[in-house]
Chains A and B, each alone.
Chain A
Amino acid sequence: MTKIKQSNNNLEERPVKNLKTYIIGFVSSIVLTLIPYFLIINHFTTSYVLLTVILVFALLQMLVQLIFFLHLGRETKPRWKLAVLISFVGIILIIVGGSIWIMQHLNYSMSLLQLNNLMQYGEGF
């Protein structure tokens, strides 16, 4: 609570600071959108590297927007929002990562055509 009091004492300068954070957030979001876009358009490197790079850019942009637009960094001490966010991101990672992993394994084990190819060319039967 003391933090709220302090930040309200200098209410006059707060909007200016905020405007700055919004502009920083906006400009860096645009940059973080354009860079991966042009990397993809120009087929910059091999597809696996490119995949990793654009995912990293998306995560960076998420962080930028969480900090500069949703003001996650300015939350006061019991950081409930951050705690909720982290636990839900954990759930999402399990769901998404788990689905992709399981379905790829299923493909690997179940597809006859792939299995044939794999046995012939991949594992040399």
Chain B
Amino acid sequence: MRNIQSGSLQSEIDNNDKTTLGFWIYLMTDLVMFGVLFATYTVLRGNTFGGPLDRQVFNLPFALVETLILLTSSFTCGLAILAMQTKNKTQVLMWFVITFLLGLSFLGLELNEFNKLISEGNSWQRSGFLSAYFSLVGTHGLHITAGLVWMGICLVKVWKEGLNSSLSRKLTLLSLFWHFLDIVWIFIFTIVYLLSGI
């Protein structure tokens, strides 16, 4: 990064920018998919078919804890990227491990919530509202799972190979993905959970 004037590095940075832009466009198409799921949820929210209403099944303090955990993991992911810029391998590993654990606990809480709903007989088969809820939140959970797998692989590679430029690029894209999932969750928190409390 220091000898920015040399030709090969310059082209590498341009290339990097193209990769980031391509990944950014993927994230935006993903956002459209979430938009469709949000539209479905808003339309089907009242269609409970005699089943429970949203305010009867959601636990707001629980959702707040999930939100705070995911927010914190987004922050630690940013700190890992900062450490990557100063080429500090130990700190990169440390912050990414913390991010990974926070993400894992978020996923655990979400699965716990799903499990509780299903065991009470309120699975996705119960009503249109619950189908839409499980599709929306489940899709986000699948993204989180994919992000965790990706993060795990990257962590092992960084640990073994150190921070080379190809891994740094992957970690940058991973951080974009993780921040993006955080933004999607903010809307889930608002539209699914907070709206149920009105």
Chain A residues proximal to chain B, CB less than 8 Å? 1, 4-5, 8, 11, 14-15, 18-19, 22, 25-26, 29-30, 33, 36-37, 40-41, 43, 47, 50-51, 54-55, 57-58, 61-62, 65-66, 69-70, 80-81, 84-85, 88, 91-92, 95-96, 99-100, 103
When the two chains form their complex, are residues A41 and B197 in contact, meaning their CB atoms are under 8 A apart?
yes
Sampled A-B contacts (24; CB under 8 Å): A5-B5, A18-B85, A22-B78, A26-B74, A33-B68, A33-B71, A37-B64, A37-B194, A41-B60, A51-B198, A55-B190, A61-B186, A62-B187, A69-B78, A69-B179, A70-B176, A81-B20, A84-B21, A85-B24, A88-B31, A91-B35, A96-B35, A96-B39, A99-B42
When the two chains form their complex, are residues A88 and B28 in contact, meaning their CB atoms are under 8 A apart?
yes
When the two chains form their complex, are residues A22 and B79 in contact, meaning their CB atoms are under 8 A apart?
yes
Beta-carbon contacts of B69-107 to A below 8 Å, as 1s and 0s?
A: 001101100110010011000000000000000000000
Beta-carbon contacts of B23-66 to A below 8 Å, as 1s and 0s?
A: 01100110110011011101100000000000000001000100
Chain B residues proximal to chain A, CB less than 8 Å? 1-2, 4-5, 10, 13, 20-21, 24-25, 28-29, 31-32, 35-36, 38-40, 42-43, 60, 64, 67-68, 71-72, 74-75, 78-79, 82, 85-86, 176, 179-180, 182-183, 186-187, 189-191, 194-195, 197-198
